[in-house]
Structure 1
Amino acid sequence: MEFDTAKFMTAVSEALQSRDTQAFVDTVKEQCTLADLCRMLDEGDIDTRRVAAIALGLIGDQSVEDYLFRALKDEDRQVNKMAEHGLWAIWFKSGKSGAMPAFKRGVDQLESNEYKAALVSFKEAATIDPNFAEAYNQCSIVYYLLGKWDKSLKYCQKALAQIPRHFGAMAGLGHCYTQKGDFRRALTHYRMAHQINPNVNAVLAAIERLQARVRDANDSSDHFAQEKVGV
Protein backbone atom coordinates (compact mmCIF):
# COMPACT_ATOMS: atom_id res chain seq x y z
CA MET A 1 0.00 0.00 0.00
CA GLU A 2 1.41 3.37 -1.03
CA PHE A 3 2.17 5.81 1.77
CA ASP A 4 -0.30 8.71 1.93
CA THR A 5 1.83 11.83 2.45
CA ALA A 6 -1.16 14.19 2.49
CA LYS A 7 -2.81 12.16 5.25
CA PHE A 8 0.42 12.20 7.24
CA MET A 9 0.81 15.97 6.94
CA THR A 10 -2.77 16.49 8.09
CA ALA A 11 -2.23 14.18 11.05
CA VAL A 12 0.87 16.01 12.33
CA SER A 13 -0.36 19.55 11.65
CA GLU A 14 -2.15 19.99 14.98
CA ALA A 15 0.90 18.97 17.01
CA LEU A 16 3.10 21.28 14.93
CA GLN A 17 0.78 24.24 15.39
CA SER A 18 0.57 23.68 19.16
CA ARG A 19 4.35 23.06 19.39
CA ASP A 20 3.62 19.86 21.31
CA THR A 21 6.79 17.86 20.72
CA GLN A 22 5.61 14.68 22.39
CA ALA A 23 2.31 14.70 20.50
CA PHE A 24 4.25 15.23 17.27
CA VAL A 25 6.59 12.31 18.01
CA ASP A 26 3.69 10.04 18.95
CA THR A 27 1.78 10.93 15.78
CA VAL A 28 4.81 10.41 13.55
CA LYS A 29 5.46 6.98 15.06
CA GLU A 30 1.82 6.01 14.55
CA GLN A 31 1.67 7.25 10.98
CA CYS A 32 4.94 6.21 9.32
CA THR A 33 8.30 4.47 9.41
CA LEU A 34 11.82 5.88 9.21
CA ALA A 35 11.90 4.75 5.58
CA ASP A 36 8.77 6.81 4.88
CA LEU A 37 10.36 9.88 6.48
CA CYS A 38 13.56 9.42 4.48
CA ARG A 39 11.58 9.17 1.26
CA MET A 40 9.61 12.32 2.14
CA LEU A 41 12.84 14.18 2.88
CA ASP A 42 14.23 13.18 -0.50
CA GLU A 43 11.11 13.55 -2.63
CA GLY A 44 8.49 15.68 -0.86
CA ASP A 45 7.50 19.30 -1.38
CA ILE A 46 9.06 22.00 0.81
CA ASP A 47 6.64 21.66 3.75
CA THR A 48 6.90 17.88 3.68
CA ARG A 49 10.70 17.99 3.60
CA ARG A 50 10.74 20.36 6.56
CA VAL A 51 8.49 18.10 8.62
CA ALA A 52 10.48 15.01 7.64
CA ALA A 53 13.75 16.66 8.70
CA ILE A 54 12.28 17.61 12.09
CA ALA A 55 10.89 14.12 12.60
CA LEU A 56 14.12 12.36 11.68
CA GLY A 57 16.01 14.45 14.21
CA LEU A 58 13.54 13.48 16.93
CA ILE A 59 13.10 9.77 16.25
CA GLY A 60 15.89 8.91 13.80
CA ASP A 61 19.17 7.15 14.40
CA GLN A 62 22.48 6.89 12.57
CA SER A 63 20.87 4.80 9.83
CA VAL A 64 19.20 7.95 8.44
CA GLU A 65 22.27 10.20 8.44
CA ASP A 66 22.85 9.96 4.68
CA TYR A 67 19.43 11.52 4.04
CA LEU A 68 20.07 14.35 6.49
CA PHE A 69 23.52 15.01 5.03
CA ARG A 70 21.94 15.36 1.58
CA ALA A 71 19.34 17.71 3.04
CA LEU A 72 22.11 20.04 4.21
CA LYS A 73 22.31 21.03 0.54
CA ASP A 74 18.57 21.26 -0.05
CA GLU A 75 17.42 24.35 -1.94
CA ASP A 76 15.30 25.39 1.06
CA ARG A 77 17.14 27.11 3.91
CA GLN A 78 14.74 25.82 6.56
CA VAL A 79 15.29 22.24 5.43
CA ASN A 80 19.05 22.87 5.75
CA LYS A 81 18.67 24.12 9.32
CA MET A 82 16.38 21.30 10.37
CA ALA A 83 18.67 18.69 8.83
CA GLU A 84 21.63 20.19 10.70
CA HIS A 85 19.70 20.18 13.97
CA GLY A 86 18.62 16.63 13.23
CA LEU A 87 22.18 15.42 12.78
CA TRP A 88 23.28 17.04 16.02
CA ALA A 89 20.29 15.48 17.82
CA ILE A 90 21.19 12.03 16.51
CA TRP A 91 24.86 12.43 17.43
CA PHE A 92 23.97 13.53 20.95
CA LYS A 93 21.89 10.40 21.57
CA SER A 94 23.98 7.87 19.63
CA GLY A 95 25.95 6.46 22.55
CA LYS A 96 25.22 3.12 24.15
CA SER A 97 22.72 3.30 27.00
CA GLY A 98 25.44 2.77 29.59
CA ALA A 99 27.37 5.80 28.33
CA MET A 100 24.47 8.24 28.22
CA PRO A 101 24.22 9.19 31.93
CA ALA A 102 27.86 10.32 32.00
CA PHE A 103 27.46 12.10 28.67
CA LYS A 104 24.34 13.97 29.79
CA ARG A 105 26.06 14.93 33.01
CA GLY A 106 28.96 16.29 30.95
CA VAL A 107 26.59 18.36 28.82
CA ASP A 108 25.09 19.93 31.95
CA GLN A 109 28.53 20.59 33.41
CA LEU A 110 29.77 22.17 30.19
CA GLU A 111 26.73 24.45 30.08
CA SER A 112 27.60 25.50 33.66
CA ASN A 113 31.23 26.20 32.64
CA GLU A 114 32.47 23.33 34.83
CA TYR A 115 35.06 22.40 32.23
CA LYS A 116 37.23 19.98 34.17
CA ALA A 117 34.25 18.10 35.56
CA ALA A 118 32.69 17.96 32.09
CA LEU A 119 35.91 16.52 30.68
CA VAL A 120 35.86 13.72 33.26
CA SER A 121 32.25 12.92 32.37
CA PHE A 122 32.78 12.94 28.60
CA LYS A 123 35.86 10.73 28.94
CA GLU A 124 33.86 8.34 31.09
CA ALA A 125 31.21 8.15 28.36
CA ALA A 126 33.88 7.49 25.72
CA THR A 127 35.45 4.76 27.87
CA ILE A 128 32.10 3.02 28.25
CA ASP A 129 31.37 3.37 24.53
CA PRO A 130 34.57 3.77 22.47
CA ASN A 131 32.47 4.30 19.32
CA PHE A 132 30.59 7.30 20.75
CA ALA A 133 31.77 10.04 18.39
CA GLU A 134 30.03 12.89 20.17
CA ALA A 135 31.70 12.07 23.48
CA TYR A 136 35.06 12.61 21.74
CA ASN A 137 33.82 15.78 20.06
CA GLN A 138 32.67 17.23 23.37
CA CYS A 139 36.08 16.40 24.87
CA SER A 140 37.65 18.36 22.02
CA ILE A 141 35.41 21.34 22.77
CA VAL A 142 36.35 21.32 26.45
CA TYR A 143 40.06 21.07 25.67
CA TYR A 144 39.68 23.97 23.23
CA LEU A 145 37.99 26.08 25.90
CA LEU A 146 40.88 25.23 28.24
CA GLY A 147 43.36 26.42 25.60
CA LYS A 148 44.85 22.96 25.04
CA TRP A 149 44.94 22.97 21.25
CA ASP A 150 46.90 19.74 20.68
CA LYS A 151 44.60 17.71 22.91
CA SER A 152 41.58 19.31 21.26
CA LEU A 153 42.99 18.29 17.86
CA LYS A 154 43.45 14.72 19.06
CA TYR A 155 39.83 14.42 20.14
CA CYS A 156 38.49 16.04 16.97
CA GLN A 157 40.35 13.33 15.07
CA LYS A 158 38.85 10.64 17.32
CA ALA A 159 35.37 11.96 16.54
CA LEU A 160 36.10 12.03 12.81
CA ALA A 161 37.40 8.46 12.94
CA GLN A 162 33.86 7.46 13.94
CA ILE A 163 31.91 9.96 11.79
CA PRO A 164 34.09 11.22 8.91
CA ARG A 165 31.45 13.78 7.90
CA HIS A 166 31.14 15.30 11.38
CA PHE A 167 31.28 18.93 10.24
CA GLY A 168 31.50 20.16 13.82
CA ALA A 169 34.66 18.17 14.51
CA MET A 170 36.06 19.13 11.11
CA ALA A 171 35.53 22.82 11.90
CA GLY A 172 37.07 22.12 15.31
CA LEU A 173 40.29 21.13 13.55
CA GLY A 174 40.14 24.46 11.74
CA HIS A 175 39.75 26.30 15.04
CA CYS A 176 42.71 24.49 16.59
CA TYR A 177 45.04 24.98 13.65
CA THR A 178 44.10 28.66 13.62
CA GLN A 179 45.10 28.96 17.27
CA LYS A 180 48.38 27.17 16.51
CA GLY A 181 49.12 29.60 13.66
CA ASP A 182 48.91 26.93 10.95
CA PHE A 183 46.56 28.95 8.75
CA ARG A 184 46.89 26.86 5.60
CA ARG A 185 45.93 23.68 7.40
CA ALA A 186 43.13 25.51 9.20
CA LEU A 187 41.80 26.75 5.87
CA THR A 188 41.88 23.22 4.45
CA HIS A 189 39.74 21.87 7.28
CA TYR A 190 37.33 24.78 7.25
CA ARG A 191 36.81 24.18 3.54
CA MET A 192 36.17 20.50 4.20
CA ALA A 193 33.61 21.39 6.88
CA HIS A 194 31.96 23.85 4.50
CA GLN A 195 31.80 21.24 1.75
CA ILE A 196 29.91 18.90 4.08
CA ASN A 197 27.64 21.60 5.52
CA PRO A 198 27.60 24.88 3.57
CA ASN A 199 25.22 26.58 6.03
CA VAL A 200 27.48 27.49 8.98
CA ASN A 201 28.12 31.22 8.75
CA ALA A 202 31.03 31.14 11.22
CA VAL A 203 32.86 28.60 9.05
CA LEU A 204 32.29 30.65 5.91
CA ALA A 205 33.56 33.77 7.69
CA ALA A 206 36.66 31.87 8.84
CA ILE A 207 37.33 30.71 5.27
CA GLU A 208 37.09 34.25 3.93
CA ARG A 209 39.30 35.62 6.71
CA LEU A 210 41.97 32.94 6.31
CA GLN A 211 41.96 33.10 2.52
CA ALA A 212 42.94 36.76 2.79
CA ARG A 213 45.55 35.97 5.43
CA VAL A 214 47.12 33.13 3.43
CA ARG A 215 47.06 35.25 0.27
CA ASP A 216 48.85 38.10 2.06
CA ALA A 217 51.42 35.64 3.41
CA ASN A 218 52.03 34.29 -0.09
CA ASP A 219 52.45 37.81 -1.47
CA SER A 220 54.96 38.66 1.26
CA SER A 221 56.86 35.42 0.63
CA ASP A 222 57.02 36.10 -3.12
CA HIS A 223 58.23 39.64 -2.52
CA PHE A 224 60.95 38.40 -0.15
CA ALA A 225 62.09 35.76 -2.67
CA GLN A 226 62.29 38.37 -5.44
CA GLU A 227 64.38 40.67 -3.25
CA LYS A 228 66.69 37.80 -2.32
CA VAL A 229 67.50 36.96 -5.94
CA GLY A 230 67.64 40.60 -6.94
CA VAL A 231 64.58 40.61 -9.18
Structure 2
Amino acid sequence: MQPTTSSAGRLCLPMLFVLAGTLAPTLVSAQSSSRSPPQATPPEATQPSDPPRTLPRSPKERGRGLDFLFGALKAAPDEASARHVESRILTLWSQTSSDTISLLMQRVKTATDAKQSDVALKLLDAVLKLRPEYIEGWSRRATLHYVRNDYQRSLEDIEQVLIREPRHFGALAGLGVIMQELGDDKRALDAFRKALAVNPHLERVRELVKTLTEKVEGRDI
Protein backbone atom coordinates (compact mmCIF):
# COMPACT_ATOMS: atom_id res chain seq x y z
CA MET A 1 0.00 0.00 0.00
CA GLN A 2 1.08 3.55 -0.57
CA PRO A 3 0.81 5.56 2.67
CA THR A 4 -0.19 9.16 2.88
CA THR A 5 2.75 11.30 3.89
CA SER A 6 2.00 13.10 7.12
CA SER A 7 2.79 16.72 7.88
CA ALA A 8 5.85 15.45 9.71
CA GLY A 9 7.25 14.02 6.49
CA ARG A 10 7.94 10.38 5.81
CA LEU A 11 10.37 9.63 8.61
CA CYS A 12 12.33 6.46 8.80
CA LEU A 13 11.65 4.24 11.80
CA PRO A 14 14.58 5.61 13.69
CA MET A 15 17.42 3.82 15.26
CA LEU A 16 15.34 0.76 15.21
CA PHE A 17 16.16 0.92 11.60
CA VAL A 18 19.69 1.35 10.63
CA LEU A 19 22.93 1.21 12.46
CA ALA A 20 24.34 4.27 10.85
CA GLY A 21 21.47 6.48 9.88
CA THR A 22 18.81 6.38 12.48
CA LEU A 23 17.53 8.61 15.14
CA ALA A 24 20.98 8.65 16.62
CA PRO A 25 22.12 11.52 14.40
CA THR A 26 18.75 12.34 12.84
CA LEU A 27 15.40 11.02 11.83
CA VAL A 28 15.95 10.16 8.21
CA SER A 29 13.55 9.40 5.40
CA ALA A 30 13.09 5.91 4.09
CA GLN A 31 12.53 7.46 0.70
CA SER A 32 14.89 9.40 -1.53
CA SER A 33 13.14 12.62 -0.54
CA SER A 34 14.58 12.50 2.95
CA ARG A 35 14.48 15.35 5.39
CA SER A 36 17.13 15.95 8.01
CA PRO A 37 15.45 17.35 11.12
CA PRO A 38 17.30 19.43 13.69
CA GLN A 39 18.63 17.95 16.88
CA ALA A 40 17.70 19.06 20.34
CA THR A 41 19.87 20.96 22.73
CA PRO A 42 19.37 18.91 25.89
CA PRO A 43 18.50 20.59 29.16
CA GLU A 44 21.26 21.27 31.61
CA ALA A 45 22.44 18.17 33.39
CA THR A 46 25.34 16.80 35.28
CA GLN A 47 28.13 15.47 33.07
CA PRO A 48 27.75 11.67 33.03
CA SER A 49 30.66 9.35 33.49
CA ASP A 50 32.17 7.94 30.33
CA PRO A 51 30.40 4.80 29.10
CA PRO A 52 32.30 1.52 29.39
CA ARG A 53 34.95 1.27 26.68
CA THR A 54 34.77 -2.50 26.33
CA LEU A 55 31.67 -4.30 25.15
CA PRO A 56 30.09 -6.79 27.59
CA ARG A 57 30.04 -10.42 26.57
CA SER A 58 27.28 -11.99 28.65
CA PRO A 59 23.58 -11.02 28.59
CA LYS A 60 23.85 -9.99 32.24
CA GLU A 61 26.82 -7.74 31.55
CA ARG A 62 25.07 -6.32 28.49
CA GLY A 63 22.00 -5.54 30.60
CA ARG A 64 24.09 -3.69 33.15
CA GLY A 65 25.87 -1.83 30.38
CA LEU A 66 22.58 -0.75 28.83
CA ASP A 67 21.24 0.38 32.22
CA PHE A 68 24.31 2.57 32.61
CA LEU A 69 24.06 3.96 29.10
CA PHE A 70 20.37 4.81 29.36
CA GLY A 71 21.12 6.70 32.55
CA ALA A 72 23.97 8.50 30.81
CA LEU A 73 21.70 9.30 27.86
CA LYS A 74 19.18 11.08 30.06
CA ALA A 75 21.96 13.00 31.81
CA ALA A 76 23.92 13.92 28.67
CA PRO A 77 24.63 17.69 28.87
CA ASP A 78 25.03 18.32 25.15
CA GLU A 79 24.30 16.91 21.72
CA ALA A 80 27.76 15.44 21.20
CA SER A 81 27.54 13.50 24.47
CA ALA A 82 24.07 12.23 23.63
CA ARG A 83 25.17 11.07 20.17
CA HIS A 84 28.13 9.25 21.70
CA VAL A 85 25.92 7.40 24.17
CA GLU A 86 23.37 6.56 21.46
CA SER A 87 26.19 5.08 19.40
CA ARG A 88 27.19 2.84 22.30
CA ILE A 89 23.61 1.68 22.76
CA LEU A 90 23.36 0.88 19.06
CA THR A 91 26.55 -1.12 19.29
CA LEU A 92 25.23 -3.20 22.17
CA TRP A 93 21.95 -3.88 20.40
CA SER A 94 23.74 -5.03 17.25
CA GLN A 95 26.40 -7.06 19.05
CA THR A 96 26.32 -10.84 18.60
CA SER A 97 28.61 -13.62 19.70
CA SER A 98 27.65 -15.71 16.68
CA ASP A 99 29.91 -15.59 13.63
CA THR A 100 27.03 -16.97 11.57
CA ILE A 101 24.73 -14.13 12.59
CA SER A 102 27.47 -11.59 11.93
CA LEU A 103 27.99 -12.97 8.43
CA LEU A 104 24.26 -13.03 7.69
CA MET A 105 23.88 -9.44 8.90
CA GLN A 106 26.74 -8.35 6.66
CA ARG A 107 24.91 -9.94 3.75
CA VAL A 108 21.72 -8.20 4.82
CA LYS A 109 23.51 -4.87 4.60
CA THR A 110 24.94 -5.73 1.19
CA ALA A 111 21.52 -6.74 -0.12
CA THR A 112 19.87 -3.67 1.37
CA ASP A 113 22.47 -1.35 -0.14
CA ALA A 114 21.84 -3.01 -3.50
CA LYS A 115 18.08 -2.48 -2.99
CA GLN A 116 17.52 -6.24 -3.04
CA SER A 117 14.90 -6.19 -0.31
CA ASP A 118 13.57 -9.68 -1.07
CA VAL A 119 17.04 -11.13 -0.51
CA ALA A 120 17.54 -9.06 2.63
CA LEU A 121 14.22 -10.25 4.06
CA LYS A 122 15.07 -13.91 3.46
CA LEU A 123 18.41 -13.41 5.19
CA LEU A 124 16.74 -11.72 8.16
CA ASP A 125 14.22 -14.55 8.36
CA ALA A 126 17.19 -16.91 8.71
CA VAL A 127 18.79 -14.67 11.35
CA LEU A 128 15.65 -14.61 13.48
CA LYS A 129 15.09 -18.34 13.10
CA LEU A 130 18.60 -18.92 14.47
CA ARG A 131 18.52 -16.13 17.09
CA PRO A 132 14.97 -15.00 17.91
CA GLU A 133 16.35 -12.94 20.81
CA TYR A 134 18.48 -10.81 18.47
CA ILE A 135 16.98 -7.32 18.62
CA GLU A 136 18.85 -5.94 15.63
CA GLY A 137 17.40 -8.66 13.41
CA TRP A 138 13.85 -7.64 14.32
CA SER A 139 14.63 -3.96 13.90
CA ARG A 140 16.22 -4.39 10.47
CA ARG A 141 13.31 -6.48 9.28
CA ALA A 142 10.84 -3.92 10.59
CA THR A 143 12.69 -1.31 8.56
CA LEU A 144 12.46 -3.30 5.36
CA HIS A 145 8.76 -3.99 5.85
CA TYR A 146 8.19 -0.28 6.44
CA VAL A 147 10.09 0.73 3.32
CA ARG A 148 8.01 -1.79 1.38
CA ASN A 149 4.87 -0.18 2.87
CA ASP A 150 3.97 -3.40 4.68
CA TYR A 151 2.92 -1.68 7.87
CA GLN A 152 1.29 -4.70 9.48
CA ARG A 153 4.46 -6.78 9.38
CA SER A 154 6.57 -3.81 10.39
CA LEU A 155 4.35 -3.29 13.44
CA GLU A 156 4.61 -6.98 14.31
CA ASP A 157 8.40 -6.75 14.26
CA ILE A 158 8.38 -3.52 16.28
CA GLU A 159 6.30 -5.35 18.88
CA GLN A 160 8.99 -8.05 19.06
CA VAL A 161 11.67 -5.40 19.55
CA LEU A 162 9.74 -3.78 22.41
CA ILE A 163 9.07 -7.13 24.07
CA ARG A 164 12.81 -7.65 24.25
CA GLU A 165 13.75 -4.03 24.99
CA PRO A 166 10.91 -1.73 26.16
CA ARG A 167 13.38 1.18 26.23
CA HIS A 168 14.10 0.93 22.52
CA PHE A 169 13.36 4.56 21.70
CA GLY A 170 13.88 3.93 18.01
CA ALA A 171 11.15 1.32 18.02
CA LEU A 172 8.87 3.61 19.99
CA ALA A 173 9.47 6.50 17.62
CA GLY A 174 9.00 4.18 14.66
CA LEU A 175 5.71 3.00 16.11
CA GLY A 176 4.66 6.64 16.40
CA VAL A 177 5.59 7.30 12.78
CA ILE A 178 3.47 4.42 11.51
CA MET A 179 0.52 5.29 13.74
CA GLN A 180 0.61 8.88 12.52
CA GLU A 181 0.75 7.80 8.89
CA LEU A 182 -2.21 5.48 9.54
CA GLY A 183 -4.15 8.39 11.00
CA ASP A 184 -4.10 7.24 14.63
CA ASP A 185 -2.74 10.42 16.17
CA LYS A 186 -3.58 9.39 19.73
CA ARG A 187 -1.47 6.25 19.60
CA ALA A 188 1.23 8.11 17.71
CA LEU A 189 1.40 10.72 20.47
CA ASP A 190 1.61 8.04 23.15
CA ALA A 191 4.48 6.30 21.35
CA PHE A 192 6.38 9.54 20.78
CA ARG A 193 6.02 10.50 24.45
CA LYS A 194 7.39 7.13 25.51
CA ALA A 195 10.36 7.60 23.16
CA LEU A 196 11.11 11.00 24.70
CA ALA A 197 10.83 9.60 28.21
CA VAL A 198 13.66 7.23 27.38
CA ASN A 199 15.69 9.65 25.25
CA PRO A 200 14.97 13.35 25.82
CA HIS A 201 17.42 14.36 23.08
CA LEU A 202 15.11 13.75 20.11
CA GLU A 203 14.26 17.20 18.84
CA ARG A 204 12.14 16.05 15.91
CA VAL A 205 10.12 13.76 18.16
CA ARG A 206 9.69 16.62 20.62
CA GLU A 207 8.29 18.77 17.80
CA LEU A 208 5.88 15.99 16.83
CA VAL A 209 4.72 15.63 20.43
CA LYS A 210 3.96 19.34 20.59
CA THR A 211 2.05 19.28 17.30
CA LEU A 212 0.09 16.15 18.13
CA THR A 213 -0.69 17.28 21.68
CA GLU A 214 -2.39 20.37 20.30
CA LYS A 215 -4.21 18.25 17.72
CA VAL A 216 -5.29 15.44 20.03
CA GLU A 217 -5.76 17.22 23.35
CA GLY A 218 -6.29 20.80 22.23
CA ARG A 219 -4.45 23.95 23.25
CA ASP A 220 -4.18 24.97 26.89
CA ILE A 221 -6.56 27.78 27.71
TM over 0.5: yes
Q: The residue matched to 1:157 in structure 2 has which SS?
A: helix
Mapped to 2, the partners of 1:95 and 1:123 lie a distance apart of 18
* Gap change, CA 1:203 and 1:113, over 3 Å in 2: farther
* Gap change, CA 1:79 and 1:128, over 3 Å in 2: same
**Structure 2: which 5+ residue stretches go unaligned?**
1-45
In structure 2, the partner of 1:152 is: 154
For residue 205 of structure 1, report the CA deviation from its aligned partner: 2.4
For residue 60 of structure 1, report the CA deviation from its aligned partner: 4.0
For residue 93 of structure 1, report the CA deviation from its aligned partner: 1.6
In structure 2, the partner of 1:130 is: 132
Mapped to 2, the partners of 1:115 and 1:205 lie a distance apart of 32
Aligned pairs for 1:91-130 within 5 A: 91-94=93-96, 96-130=98-132
What TM-score, normalized to structure 2? Answer: 0.68
Aligned length: 169
**Cα RMSD after superposing both structures:** 2.4
- Identity of aligned pairs, percent? 23
Kindly indicate whether structure 1 or structure 2 has the higher relative contact order, using CA contacts under 8 Å at least 6 residues apart: 2
Question: What amino acid is aligned across from residue 103 of structure 1 in structure 2?
Answer: M
Aligned pairs for 1:1-231 within 5 A: 46=47, 49=49, 52-53=50-51, 55-56=53-54, 59-60=55-56, 62-63=62-63, 64-77=65-78, 78-94=80-96, 96-215=98-217
Q: The residue matched to 1:53 in structure 2 has which SS?
A: coil
1:171-204 CA distances to partner (integer Å, 9 max, x unpaired)? 1111111121111001101110111011122322
* Gap change, CA 1:109 and 1:66, over 3 Å in 2: same
**Structure 1: which 5+ residue stretches go unaligned?**
1-44, 219-231
What TM-score, normalized to structure 1? Answer: 0.66
1:149-192 CA distances to partner (integer Å, 9 max, x unpaired)? 11111000011111111111111111111121111001101110
Once superposed, which parts of structure 1, at least 4 consecutive aligned residues long, lie more than 4 Å away? none
